[in-house]
Structure 1
Amino acid sequence: MPALVQRRPRHPDPRPARRVPHRRTPAGDLVNETHRTPSGGLIDRDTPLRFTFDGRRLTGYRGDTLASALLANGVHQVATSIRFGRPRGILSAGAEEPNALVQLEEPVPEPMLGATTVELFDGLVARGLPGQGRLAAQPDPARYDGKHVHCDVLVVGAGPAGLVAALTAARGGARVVLVDDQPEPGGALLGSNEHLDGKPAVEWARTVADELRELPGTLVLERTTAFGAYDDGFVLALQRRTDHLGAAAPRHVSRQRVWRIRAKQTVLATGAHERPVVFADNDRPGIMLAGAARTYLHRYAVLPGRRAVLFTTNDSGYAAALDLADADVDVPLILDARPDAATAWTDVCAERGIEVRAGHAVVGTDGEERIAAARTASLDGAGKSRVDCDLLLVAGGWNPAVHLFSQARGQLEYAPGLGAYVPAGVLPAMRVAGAASGALDFASCVREGRDAAEEALSATGFTPAPRFALPASDARPEETPPAVRWLVPGAAPEPDTRFVDLQRDATVSDVLRATGAGLRSLEHIKRYTTIGTAHDQGKTSGMLAGGIVADALGTDLARGRPTTFRPPYTPVAFAALAGRNRGELHDPVRVTAIHPRHQAHGAVFENVGQWHRPWYYPRPGEDLHAAVLRECRAARTGVAMMDASTLGKIDLQGPDVTVFLDRLYPNMMSTLGVGRIRYGVLCGLDGMVIDDGTVIRLAEERFLVTTTTGNAATVLDWMEEWLQTEWPDLDVFATSVTEHWATIALVGPLSREVLGAVAPGLDVANAALGFMSWQDAEVAGIAARVCRISFSGELAYEINVPCWYAGALWDALLAAGEPYGITPYGTETMHVLRAEKGYPVIGQDTDGTVTPQDLGMSWVVSKKKADFVGKRSFSRPENLRPDRKQLVGLLPEDPAVLLPEGAQIIESDHLPEPPVRMLGHVTSSYSSAALGRTFALALVRSGFGRIGETLYVPVGDEVVPVTVTGSVLFDKEGARRDG
C-alpha cells in the first residue's frame, strides 16, 4: 500500500546525521558505510554481516537486503543495461525492481536475482549483471521441497489490509493461511514512520501477527510469495527458507519450498507498485522511486543520497521528500507536474525551506555513473533550469498489483483517478482489498480488509465475529488528480534515452515505431518491443507502455486492458518447482534386469524414453559404424541376441476383452486363437497411427499386448480412457506388466540351434512352433514363454521370463551360442535390421499424419468389422488424397552417401530459389552390411507411385540424387523368416 500519503509529521532532529568514518577490514579492504543513519530502521545493528560485491568487501547488518547494504556503502551502480550497456542503479525496494540484477556467486551460484529481494547474509558474494546471468556449474547442495495445505481463507499480503483480513477471518473461527513476501508482516508500513493508535505502525503490525500465530488453525508464512492463482482456489506460493542464513544453513534444511494451497476463499491484499515517469535519461543510477527512498530510510536506516530533488505527479511523493529532509538530506526542490500543487503539502514544504514548482517536470538528467543534476522545465517548455543533485525521486502514481486476480480470470477496468487498472467486481471465491483494489489511504485499506474477510467468512459458512474497532490513523490530505501520467512531453532526444522498460532498454521511440508499423494491440506491441517480457514482467513499465500507446493512437485506456498477467508473479527457480524430484527422482533412469551384463560386455548406452538401453557393443578399436556392421552381419549370417525387455507389455483380462480389442484395433483380434500372435497398429480418432505392437492370446479371456518402448504408458492411458469414459460397460481390466517380464530376442539363421540347446523339451521346428505362435517351455531350466516373432526379418524368437531370472537366461544363451559365434547387439543394429525390411518405427517413420495405408499396411485394416477407433476417418477426403505422404525406400546414387535423417526431398537436381516445393523428408538412414551400401526410408508425397523415379536430397551445398524404391529393401519375399 502506498502508505506515503499518511505521513505523521514530526519535527526535524536538531542533531546532525553522524558521519561514519571510513574503516578497514582485517584484509585491508575499504568499507564505506557513510550513508547509514546513526539510529533507526529495522536492521539488527548488533549483527554485522560481511559480503562481497563486484570484488569489493563490504559490510551490512542482519535485516538488510543486498540493495540496502549497497546503498549504505554508497554503491549506486549495480548493473549495466542489456542492449546499450548503460550504467543502471537501484530504482525500487521490492520485487518490481527492473535494474539491479545480480548474480550470486557464493555459497551457490544463482543468476538473475533482484538485489532488492536478496536478504543479506554473512559471506554473500555477488556481482552485477548486464541483464543476463549464468547457471551454476556445480550442483546445488541445498534441498528444495513442497507442501500442501488446505484452508478456509487464504490472505495474500501482510500489509494493513491483509493483516486485518487475516485477523477478522481467524477470529471468526476459519482456518487461515496468511502469506507475505517479506521477513516480517507490515507491508508498506515497514518502510514508513506511520503511527496507529498512538504507537508505531510496525509495532501494531507485529502485535496483530503475534495474535494470528497464537490463534488455532492459523498459519503465517513469511518470506513467501504467491506467484500463481488457478482454478478452484488453488494458489502456488514460494517460500524462501534459509536465504537469510546463508552459507551457514545446514544442508538438510530446505532452501526454498513451494506451497500448494487450496482455499475455499481468497483475499488478495497484494498492495501496489509505484509508477515511474518517462523523460530523457531517466535511467541513471541515483534515480529512484519516491516510495523506495522512504523505505530505505525508515526500514534500513539508509540515506540514498545527500541532495535530493523530487519529481511527482501526485501527493504521495511529498512524504518521502519531507522525511529525507527531516533526516538532514538537502531537498532544494520539488517539481509537481500538476498546475495547482496541493496546498497542504506546499505549506509544510515552505516550513522546511523546500521550493515547490507547480506545473513543472524533469526533462532530462546529467551525470556519468550516477546522476549529477536534474534538468527541469515547465510543462509548456519554459523556465528551464539545472539543479545539482545526487538523488532524483520520482513519484508517478500507483499500479495496483492485480496480477493474481487477473490470473484467476478476474476482469479489470481502467480507473482514471489512478491512471491504472483495478479489479472489476469480485470473483466467486476471490476478493481484493487495500491498495490492490485502488485504495490509497490506510483507513480505506483496513476497512476493505475487514469487509473482504467478512464476505469470505459468510461464503464459507462461518459467522463473522463481532467487529473490532479499526485502528485510528492520521488524516490524509485531499489528493489532486495527477497531470502527467507516464511521459513528460517534449521532442525526442537523439538517440532516444526516454526509457519505458529499463530492463529491456526499450524506449518511447521503440513504442512509436511499433504503432507506426500498424500495430494496435498492446499484446502485439509487447512482443514487437519486448516491453514487459523480462524478469520483472513489466511491473513498472507495463502501464507506461499502455499509456504511451493510447496517447499515440488516440484511444481510450478504458476501452482496453493491460497485457495478460501470467504466472509466475516473480521468477521461480526450476529447482524449487522440481522440489525433491531431482536427478533420478525427477526423471528416473530405468534399466532392465540384464543391465549389469550389458555393462560388463562394454555396451555404450542410449536413452530411450526413461530407459537406459544398450546402443551398441564396441570391441577394441571399433567405432559405432564398425560395431553396428559387425552386429548386423552376425544377425543376418549367424546368431545374435538382444535385450528387448523395455517393450511395453499390458495384460488385458475380462469377459469383454475381445470386444474391447476389436473396437480398439483396425484388424480383427477376436478371431485370434489361443497360442497365436497377431501384429496390429493403434490409430487415433483421426485414423493416424499412434503405436504398433503384437497381440498375444494367452487364454479365452486373457491377452498380452506389446507396445513400443516409449509409448507404453501412453497406450495404457489410451486404453483406460476408453474403458473408463466411453465403454464403462465393458468388463475388462488392463494392467502394466512391462517390468514383470524380461524379454531376450534370439535372432539369426542359427538361432534355432541355440534355442534347441537350452530348451531340449521344446520342439523348435517350424511345424511345431510356427511364425506368430507361442509356447510355454523350460529354457535353461527356467519357466519361459517362447514367441516366434521377428522384428528383423530373420528366424527369431522372443524368450520371456520373470525379470529376476533374466540374468541367468542371458548367461545361458551366451554360453550355448558361443560355438556359433553368438553376438549381443544393441538398438542401432535393431534399427538397421528392421529398416532393411521396411518395418516402421512409430514416431520416427511417422509424424502423427500417417495412416496405416500410408505405411503400405492396408492389410492391417479389417474390411469386415462394422466399426473401430479411427474407421470413419479413413474415408475422409483428406485421407484419400492421392498425394499423401507415403513410406518408401531411398537409394542414394552414390552408395557411400549417408543421407541425414530429417533431410528434405525435392524434385530439382539443383538448389532452386525459394520457395521450394518439398516432397517429403528422410525418416531413417543407415549403412547396411546386407545391402553393401547406404539406404534410407522416407515419407514422400505420392510415394508409392514414384517408385523407380529419381528425386533429390539437399545435403549442405550439394544435391544428392536418390532412387525411390519400395520400403522393403532386403529379402522381399520373406524367405528368411522361417530359417
Structure 2
Amino acid sequence: MFRLPKRGLVDHGAPLSFSFDGRRLTGLAGDTLASALLANGVHLTGRSFKYHRPRGILGAWADEPNALVTVIRGGGRSTPNLPATQVELFENLVAFSQNREPSLERDRWSINDRLGRFLPAGFYYKTFMWPKSFWSRVYEPRIRAVAGLGVAPEQADPDRYEHRYAHCEVLVVGAGPAGLSAALTAAESGCRVVVCDDRPLPGGSLLSAASATIDGLGAREWADTAVARLSSMTNVTLLPRTTAFGYYPHNLLGLCERLGDHLPGEPAGPRERLWSVRAARVILATGALERPLVFPDNDRPGIMLADAARQYLQLHGVAVGRRVVIVTAHDAGYRSAHELHAAGIQVVLADTRPAAIARSTPFRVIPDARIEGTRGTLRVSAITISHTGRSERIDCDAVLMCGGFTPSIHLASQSRGTMAWDAEVQAYVPAGSAEAECSIGAAAGRLELADALADGCRAGRDAAAAAGFAARRIGTPRASVDHSVGQGGIIGALPHGRDPAKVKAFVDWQNDVTARDIMLATREGFRSIEHVKRYTTTGMATDQGKLSNLNSLAITAAQTGRPVEAVGFTTFRPPYTPVTFGALAGAARRDLFDPVRQTPIHDWAVAQGAVFEDVGLWKRARYFPRASEDMQAAVNRECLAVRGSAGLFDASTLGKIEIVGADAATFLNRLYVNAWDRLAIGRCRYGVLLREDGFILDDGVIGRLAADRFHATTTTGGAARVLATMEDYLQTEWPDLDVWLTSVTEQWSVIAVQGPHAREILTPLVQGLDISADAFPHMSIGEGTICGAALRLMRVSFTGELGFEVNVPSSHGHAVWEAIWRIGQPLGMTAYGTEAMHVLRAEKGYIIVGQETDGTVTADDAGLAWAIGKTKRDFVGKRSLARPAMKAPDRKQLVGLRTLDPAKLLEEGAQIVGPDGGPSLGHVTSSYYSANLGRSIALALVRGGRALEGHRLRVAMPGGGIEVDVTNPVLFDPKGKRLDG
C-alpha cells in the first residue's frame, strides 16, 4: 500500500508474515515492525499514558516514545514495552498494542482526554491525598489499571543470557560516519578497538544518505567498505545490535548485545549478552536526534519526525504518507522534502522562520508559518497554518516535524562530563570529561558529513597515540552531499493564535506532558528543572527525555525569565535505553541467583543427619541430632561434649586473606587497631577492624607466617567486605606500599578441634610440627603436614577450650576430617554445629560481629579496648574514637545477663529497662540455654553497662517483664585456665 518498489535496504523478494493486534499483515526481510506497519498504512499503534489519546509512530529508532508493543514469541515468551521501531521483523512475529481497552480504535478510557482540564500536571499529588488509607486499597489499583505500559509476563523467562568482560585501548560507541572513521584510524595503528552500534547494520546516517558520496563512493558503499575492513582486522571487535547503555567510573561501559530477538522461534544460544568493557580511551560517536516541534494537537497518528520519515523511505522503501506537510524550523526539513518529493510523494513545506531561505524547490514552501492545530481522529487528516495574515487548512495524511537536532549527550553526561550551551546548534554539547573520553561528530554538535568524518579521523589518531600506539597517517575521507544538514532550529513551544490554556501541545509524548503542564509547574513555584521534571514527569519515561528535554528547558526558561543555559539540564541516568532484567541478571537466576556454597565436609555432615542453616551463601551444619533429639537436646549434648572431651567443628567458611609483601606489617598497622610490626613469626593475634567512623567492621585472628607474610581470617559474612576494604585502601590511600592481597577462603578447609583432648587427638596425625604445650602455646601458627597434606595449624579457640584450627587444602578437607574423627571417637569426640558454637562462645563472652555489633559499637563498647595498640599513632577509625561522644560514659556496653529464674530464656532483641521501667537502656544481643552452666545465659548492650554490673534490670518480654542481674560478659571459666589445658 505504501511500499515503494526497488527502494531501501529491505529484501523485496523475501516477504514475511506477521500479526499486529490479531490482524495478519506482510512485511519484508530487513523491516522493523514499525516500518512494516507503515508499509501497510498502519499509523495507529497505541494509546497515551494518561489521556488515552490515539498515538502513532513518531521516530525511527531508540527515540520512539509512542509505539510500544508487546511481542509474543515461541515457548510462552512475552516481552512488553518494546519500541516497534527497534523490533526487527521475522516470520510469524506476533505483536500487540498496549494501554488500551478493549481495542486501539475504541478505547473506553479515552474519556480521560475530555476530562483533561481536571488532570493537570501533579493532579495526583493534590487529588489522592484523602482519606489516607485509600491510596493503597482504592486509588493506586485503579490508576494502575488505567495508566501504564505493558503487562509484565507471569511465566518464568526460559532464555539464557551471558555476561562478558573485555579490555581494549579504544572503544568507539556508534558506527556512523564519525565512529567508522575513528575506528578505522585507531585500528590501523594496531591497538585493540571495540566498535558497538545499536542498529542491525553499522553505518548510521550513511545508510540513509542517498545523495552523499565519500571518496567517490556512495555513502552506503563507503560504509560497507569500512565495515568490511574493520571485520577483517584481528584487533577489532565489531558489535552490531549492541547498545552502550551506561558509562561508569574509570572508563567502564556497559553494553547490551541483542543476539536472538531478531530470529524466529526459540534462540539456539543466549538471547542477549551483557558486556562490561574497560577502555583506555572512549570515543562517543552517538550522533544527534531530530527535535520535534511543540504546537497544538501535535500528537495525532501520522505526525512524525521528518528525518524519521526520510529514514523509512531510504532504508525500508516506505512512504509514510502520500500527501505530506513538513513543518520545519531547520534547513534539514528541506532535505527531507526533496527526498520525499523525488520519491513521488506530494509535499508542502511550512517554514516557521520569518523568511524562508530563497531557493528553488519543486514543492510549495510556506514561509513565516504558524501552526494553529491539526485535525483527524485515528490519523491526522489536515493541518491548519496561519501565514500572510490568513489561515489555511491543508488536507494531508502525514505531518512531519523538524525542529533541529539535539546531540545525544547521555553517555557523555554519565561520564561526569561538563556540558556547554551551543547557541548555533541550540543545544548542549560536551565541553569536557572527567574520563579519558571525547565526543565527536553530531554528538559534539558537528552535524555536516565532512565535519563528522574529519572529527573521527582526528579522534582515532589521538586515542591511538594516547594509548601508546603510533597512528598511521590516513587521509581524511572527502565527502560531497547534494543537500547539507544546514542550520536553524527552534526550542520551546511554537507561537500560535489559540488560548494556551485550552490546547494540548505535547512536549513529552509518552507521559502526556504538555506545554501548559510545564507552565503550570513554574506558576506553582518550581524553578529548578529537576523539580519541574518530577512534578510534570517530563523526560521520566522509557525514552529518557531524548525528544522532550530541550523543549521542556526552553519553556521553563521562558516562563521564569531566564536564558536556557541558566536553567541547566536534567541528569541523564543509565540505562540509555531500557535493558532487560535477564541481561542484567545473566546466569544469576534460579539456583544461581543465590548460589549455594558447600564446604568439603558438607557431604559428611549430610550423612550424619545434620540440620543446616544458611550463613551468607554458605550451607553450615547447625546441629547434629541423634535419634529423636530436638535442637535443644542436640545442642546441649554437643556443648557438654566439647567441654568434657572434644568437639569437631567445620570452620571452612571463615574468610581467609593472604597478605604478602615487604610492607605487609605496615599495611596491617594502618588498618587494624592492633600493633603488628612486633608480632613474632609463628604467632597469632586477635585483630579488630574499624570503619572510618570508629565502629567495628569485622574481626578475626591473624597469624604471621614470615616477615612478609600474614594469614588473616575474617567472619564468614564479612570476607568479601573486608577484602574490598583492604583493596580500597591499598589502591587509593597507600598505593606506595609493597603489598599483595589474595583471597584464599576457598583454598583452605578449616577444621576446628576443640576440647581437653584436642592435642591428644591431633598429635599422632601432625608431622613436622611440635604441638606440645611448651613448643606451641596458645595463639601460635605453624606449618607442617597432616595425613600427607600441607598443614597450616593455628592454636586458637572460639570456645574457651584448648583448641586448634587445622587448615588444609580444600581437596584434602574431607579426608583429614575423617582421620581426625576416627582417632577422636574412642575419646568421646562429637561433631558440633553453629548453634553449639554460638552457645560456647557466648559462655566466654566472645562477640560475633553483626550480633553483638550493630554498626554503632566501638571496640571499647564491646569490651575490646585491650586490643587497641597503646602506642599506635594512627589506624583506620582512630580519629573518630577521639570524639567526645565515643567516650561518653552512657554508651551502650557489652555485659552479661543472668535471669533470676534460670529456666527463663530471654528473647534476642528484647529491650532492657530499669527495674521500675522507663526508657530503653539497651537490648539483648544473644540468648541461649547453657547446659554447662545449667541455666539460661545472655549477652546484651546496655547504656553504661559496665558500671551497672551487680545491678538488677528488667527485660521487656511478651506476657510481662523478666528480672535480670547484670554481670561480666565472661560467664564460664572467667580466668581462662582451660585455654592452656
TM-score, normalising length: structure 2: 0.77
SS in 1 for 2:279: strand
Aligned to 2:599: 592
What SS class does the counterpart of residue 569 from structure 2 fall into? coil
Cα deviation, residue 432, structure 1: 4.5
Aligned equivalent of 2:355, options 317, 325, 340: 340
Q: 1:364 to 1:217 in 2, by over 3 A?
A: same
Counterpart of 1:149 in structure 2 is 168
Q: Tell me which residue corresponds to 1:360.
A: 370
Distance 1:921 1:303 in 2: 74
Aligned counterparts of 1:307 and 1:508: Cα–Cα separation in 2? 28
Query: Which residue in 2 is equivalent to 1:289?
Result: 305
Cα pair 2:415 2:435 within 8 Å, conserved: no
Structure 2 CA distance for partners of 1:646 and 1:385, relative to 1, 3 Å: same
Match of 2:293 among 271, 277, 283: 277
Q: Provide the identity percentage.
A: 46
Counterpart-to-counterpart distance in 1, 2:288 and 2:781: 72
Shifted more, 616-625 versus 829-838: the winner is 616-625
CA separation of 1:883/1:275 partners in 2, compared to 1, >3 Å: closer, same or farther? farther
Q: Does 1:68 pair with 2:35?
A: yes
Please list, as runs of the form range in 1=range in 2, the aligned pairs for 1:887-926 lying within 5 A after superposition.
887-888=894-895
Q: Partner amino acid for 1:853? A: D
Among candidates 730, 752, 762, match of residue 756 of structure 2: 752
CA shift in 2, pair 1:314/1:685, >3 Å: closer
Q: Is 2:224 the counterpart of 1:206?
A: yes
Deviations 1:213-255 (A, max 9, x none): 568966654334444557777666544445444447542x785
Q: Provide closer, same or farther for how the CA distance between residues 326 and 787 of structure 1 changes in structure 2, counting only shifts above 3 A.
A: closer
What letter matches 1:191 in structure 2?
A: S
What secondary structure sits across from 1:291 in the alignment? Answer: helix
CA distance in 2, matches of 1:281, 1:539: 20
Cα deviation digits, residues 608-627 of structure 1 (max 9, x gap): 44533334557798887887
Q: 1:289 corresponds to which letter in structure 2?
A: L
Match of 2:363 in 1: 349
1:301 is matched with which residue?
317
Query: Could you say which residue in structure 2 is the equivalent of 1:464?
Result: 473
Structure 1: give runs of 5+ residues left out of the alignment.
Answer: 1-33, 912-916
What do the CA deviations read for 1:495-534 (whole angstroms, capped 9, x no partner)? Answer: x855433334444455445544544332344344443344
Determine which of 816, 831, 846 is the counterpart of 1:839: 846
Aligned mates of 2:537, 2:329 — CA distance in 1: 27
Q: Which moved more, 1:567-576 or 1:536-545?
A: 567-576
Structure 2 CA distance for aligned equivalents of residues 621 and 362 of structure 1? 86
How far does the alpha carbon of each residue in 1:135-181 deviate from its partner, in whole angstroms, 9 at most, with x for none? 77144235553443335xx6543434445555666789988665433
Q: In the alignment, is the contact (CA less than 8 A) between 2:250 and 2:435 conserved in 1?
A: no
Structure 1 residue 547: Cα displacement: 1.4
Q: Residue 360 of structure 1 aligns to which amino acid in structure 2?
A: R
The 8 Å contact of residues 172 and 464 in structure 1, kept in 2 or not, is answered as: no
CA distance in 2, matches of 1:669, 1:219: 49
Q: 1:846 to 1:320 in 2, by over 3 A?
A: same
Name whichever of 172-181 and 184-193 sits farther off.
Answer: 172-181
Return the match for 1:89 from 37, 56, 65. 56
| Matched AA of 1:98 | P
Deviation (angstroms), 1:555: 0.9
Correspondent of 2:73 among 106, 122, 128:
106
Partner of residue 969, structure 2: 968
Q: Distance in 1 between matches of 2:731 and 2:43?
A: 63
Alignment partner of 1:317 is 2:333? yes
C-alpha displacement of 1:942: 4.5
RMSD: 5.3
1:92 CA drift (Å)? 0.8
Q: 1:480 to 1:669 in 2, by over 3 A?
A: closer
Write the letter of the residue equivalent to 2:352: A
For the Cα contact (< 8 Å) 1:239–1:259, is it kept in 2? no
**Cα offset for 1:548?**
1.9
Separation of aligned partners in 1, 2:182 and 2:447: 17
In 2, are the aligned partners of 1:645 and 1:743 still within 8 Å (CA)? yes
- 2:277 is matched with 260
Mapped to 1, the partners of 2:886 and 2:550 lie a distance apart of: 50
- Aligned residue number for residue 644 of structure 1: 651
> Following superposition of structure 1 onto structure 2, how do residues 780-929 of structure 1 map, counting pairs within 5 Å?
789-793=796-800, 798-811=805-818, 824-835=831-842, 837-863=844-870, 870-871=877-878, 873-888=880-895
CA distance in 2, matches of 1:558, 1:281: 28
Equivalent-residue separation in structure 1 for 2:792 and 2:415 (angstroms): 55
CA offset at residue 400 of structure 1? Answer: 1.4
Identify which range, 768-777 or 427-436, moves more after superposition: 768-777
Structure 1 contact 608–709 (Cα < 8 Å) conserved: yes
* Pair 1:196–1:856, CA change in 2 (3 A): same
Offset of 1:697 from its aligned partner?
6.3
Task: Name which of structure 1's ranges 723-732 and 74-83 shifts more when overlaid on structure 2.
Answer: 723-732
- Is 1:539 aligned to 2:561, yes or no? no
1:671: Cα distance to partner? 7.4
Letter in structure 1 aligned against 2:60: A
Say if 1:482 and 1:545 are closer, same or farther in 2 by CA, change over 3 A: closer
- Matching of residues 211-250 of structure 1 within 5 Å: 221-228=239-246, 237-247=255-265, 250=268
CA contact (8 A) 1:279 1:364 kept: no
Structure 1 distance, partners of 2:740, 2:190, is 47
What amino acid sits opposite 1:290 in the alignment? A
Partner-residue secondary structure (3-state), 1:549? helix
Equivalent residue pairs, number: 920
The residue type paired with residue 117 of structure 1 is Q
Structure 2: gaps spanning 5 or more residues: 99-147
Q: Which amino acid counterpart does residue 340 of structure 1 have in structure 2? A: A
The one-letter code of the counterpart of 2:286 is T
Deviation at 1:408, TM superposition (A): 4.5
- 3-state secondary structure, aligned to 2:700: strand
Give yes or no for contact 1:337–1:484 (8 Å, CA) kept in 2. no
1:562 maps to 569
For the pair 1:421 / 2:438, whether they are aligned, the reply is no
Q: Contact 2:416–2:433 at 8 Å: present in 1 too?
A: no
Aligned partner letter, 2:176: G
Q: Give the letter aligned to residue 752 of structure 1.
A: P
SS at match of 2:550: helix
What corresponds to 2:90 in structure 1?
121
Residues 366 and 375 of structure 1 are in contact (CA less than 8 Å); yes or no, is this contact kept in structure 2? no
What SS is found at the alignment partner of 1:543?
helix
CA contact 1:337–1:379 (8 Å) conserved in 2: no
Contact 1:890 1:962 in 2 (8 A): no
Q: Which amino acid aligns with 1:274?
A: E
Q: Does 1:159 align with 2:197?
A: no
The 1:396/1:605 distance shift into structure 2, 3 A limit, reads farther
| Matched AA of 1:473 | V
What is the CA–CA distance in structure 1 between the aligned matches of 2:384 and 2:899, rounded to whole Å?
A: 74
Over 3 Å counting, the alpha-carbon distance change for 1:274 and 1:969 in structure 2 is same
Greater mean alpha carbon deviation, residues 816-825 or residues 557-566:
816-825
1:639-682, Cα deviation, whole Å (9 max, x unpaired): 65421122234567899877776666545667777876543323
1:187 maps to which residue?
A: 204
Aligned to 1:31: none
Asked whether the 8 Å contact 1:396–1:485 carries over to 2, the reply is no
Cα distance in 1 for residues equivalent to 2:595 and 2:557: 52
Per the alignment, residue 548 of structure 1 pairs with: 555
* Superposition map of 1:397-436 within 5 A: 397-424=404-431, 432-436=439-443
Residues 719-755 of structure 1 deviation map (CA, whole Å, 9 limit, x = unaligned): 67888998899998876654454333355xxx43587
Distance across 1 between alignment mates of 2:832 and 2:664: 36
Structure 1 pair 961–754 and aligned structure 2 pair: CA distance change class (3 A)? closer
Kept in 2, the 8 Å contact 1:920–1:941? The answer is: yes
Q: CA deviation at 1:43?
A: 0.6
TM-score (norm 1): 0.77
Q: Secondary structure at the match of 1:744?
A: strand
1:7 is matched with none
Answer whether contact 1:276 1:486 (CA < 8 A) is retained.
no
State the SS of the aligned residue for 1:317.
helix
| 1:131 has 2:149 as partner | yes
